Amino acid sequence: MKEIIQSDVNVWDTYVIKKDGTTMHFDIIAPVEVSDAETIYNYGKAYLKMKGQEGLPLSAKQCKLCHIETLKPEWLEEIVQKGYFIIEMEGCN
């Protein structure tokens, strides 16, 4: 991925019902230049797979652009490497 020039990122608020029926809440942080929702959903699906929750639906119903925030230094390396950063909020263990 190209070097991030913008200092702002989009925050995609995401709620998914896990395989055990509990709710998983996480934010997908991506550069503001990444505006294609399908790309964001694919980031979320990759994260869900990493958490053993692959195959769960992830679309506009579960994942919505919430707001724009200033890029935090602790997010930068992972965004440069993977294109996104995940903030685990609830039920992500």
Distance CA 53, CA 12 (A): 18
Number of domains in the chain: 1
- pLDDT score of 52: 96
2-51 pLDDT per residue, tens: 455 568 999 999 999 999 999 999 999 999 999 899 999 999 999 999 99
- What CATH number does the domain containing 12 carry? 3.10.510.10
State how far the Cα of 26 lies from the Cα of 38, in Å rounded to an integer: 17
The predicted pLDDT at position 6 comes to: 66
CB 91 within 8 A of CB 24: yes
pLDDT of residue 3: 53
Q: What pLDDT is attached to residue 7?
A: 86
Take residue 63 and report the two structure tokens written for it. 């994942």
50 part of a folded domain = yes
The answer to whether residue 3 sits within a structural domain is no
Q: In terms of residue numbers, what domain contains 61?
A: 8-90
Give the pTM: 0.90
